[in-house]
Amino acid sequence: MSGTDRVLLEKKEGIARLIINRPEKLNALDGRTMQEIDAAIGATGADPAVGVHIVTGMGEKAFVAGADIAELAAQSPVEGAAYARRGQDVLVRLERLGKPSIAAVNGYALGGGLELAMACTLRLAADTAKLGQPEVALGIIPGYGGTQRLSRLVGAGRALELILAGEPIDAREAHRIGLVNRVVPAAELPAAAETLARTLLTRGPLALRYAMQAVHEGLQMTLAEGLAMEAALFGLTCATEDMREGTRAFVEKRKPSFKGR
């Protein structure tokens, strides 16, 4: 295990685990923690030995319970806008790494914590987890992408309800509305996240990259534009060694050995 004191990093067998390590603050995100998250994903994103990321929180109570309120309360309007942009930039880099990431939501995922989870490719939640965007109770709005990603995941109506009421929902309701992909017993969450990560590691890494790109960028396009982009990216996969290996392995009834080329 390596990393700094607020973000622990473990790299093993193709999986990078990023653990937010402020359990005494329910893993709240302050500026320093965001910087350390950014440094960690920068290092692992550039590491060819890493294929999948798992993001989780230290302890059993919280994934990330939100922003550091003491730090947030001291922001001027200009500082607040810059504070939000810095956090948004970190989460965009996580979202666009080109490698899948799994949020293992092991407890409270509120405010910035839910925004961090939504920037991950997939979300698994413990059955004890609570998720929400409670910022309006503090007289502010989500600032790390919550107003944008939440509506894209669950639709404008449900997003507005969660943001305007500011009340958290449990993991089952989050799964019902499409906010999380799967709910598992809390004790089984680490194993479930690792099993999913290992499944993703068996897939062609370039195919994963292009598939994620097609979905993310396609959401900003018309259907016709998205289909054109999909066809172009499909063509790119057809030029890869991974495509030849994958199709050959299928014909030969064996498991493929992808190289990311």
Question: What digits encode the pLDDT tens for the residues 62-98?
Answer: 999 987 777 777 778 888 888 889 999 999 999 999 9
When the pLDDT of each residue in the chain is averaged and rounded to a whole number, the result is 93
Question: What CA–CA distance (Å, rounded) separates 222 from 224?
Answer: 5
Among 13, 71, 115, 161, which one carries the catalytic annotation?
115
pLDDT band at 256 (very low <50, low <70, confident <90, very high): confident
- Please confirm, yes or no, whether 24 is among the known catalytic residues: no
pLDDT at residue 4, as a whole number: 63
Instruction: Mark out the alpha helices in the chain (DSSP H runs).
Output: 31-45, 69-73, 77-95, 112-119, 146-154, 156-165, 171-176, 189-201, 205-218, 223-237, 241-251
Query: Helix, strand or coil for residue 25?
Result: helix
| Per-residue pLDDT band at 48 (split at 50, 70, 90) | very high
Nearest to 182 by CA among 191, 171, 169: 171
Check residue 68 and give its pLDDT. 75
Please confirm, yes or no, whether 60 is among the known catalytic residues.
Answer: no
Residue from 24, 36, 135, 230 carrying the catalytic annotation = 135
Give 39 or 74, the one with higher predicted confidence: 39
Q: Considering all CA atoms of the chain, what is the largest pairwise distance in Å, rounded to the nearest integer? A: 63
Examine the pLDDT at 3 and tell me if it is beyond 60: no
Identify the pLDDT of residue 83: 86
pLDDT of residue 21: 96
pLDDT confidence bin for 260, thresholds 50/70/90: confident
Amino acid at 254: R
Does residue 215 or residue 249 have the better pLDDT? 215
Is residue 261's pLDDT more than 60?
yes
pLDDT in tens, 117-136: 999 999 999 999 999 999 99
Distance CA 55, CA 102 (A): 6
The 10s digit of each residue's pLDDT in 141-196 is: 999 999 999 999 999 999 999 999 999 999 999 999 999 999 999 999 999 999 99
Superfamily of domain 2-201: 2-enoyl-CoA Hydratase; Chain A, domain 1 (3.90.226.10)
3-state secondary structure of 138: helix
CATH class of the 205-251 domain in this structure = mainly alpha
Residue % of the chain over a pLDDT of 90: 81
What's the pLDDT score for residue 79? 85
Indicate whether this model's pTM tops 0.75.
Answer: yes
Q: Is the pLDDT of residue 109 over 80?
A: yes
pLDDT score of 74 = 76
Residue boundaries of the structural domains of the chain: 2-201, 205-251
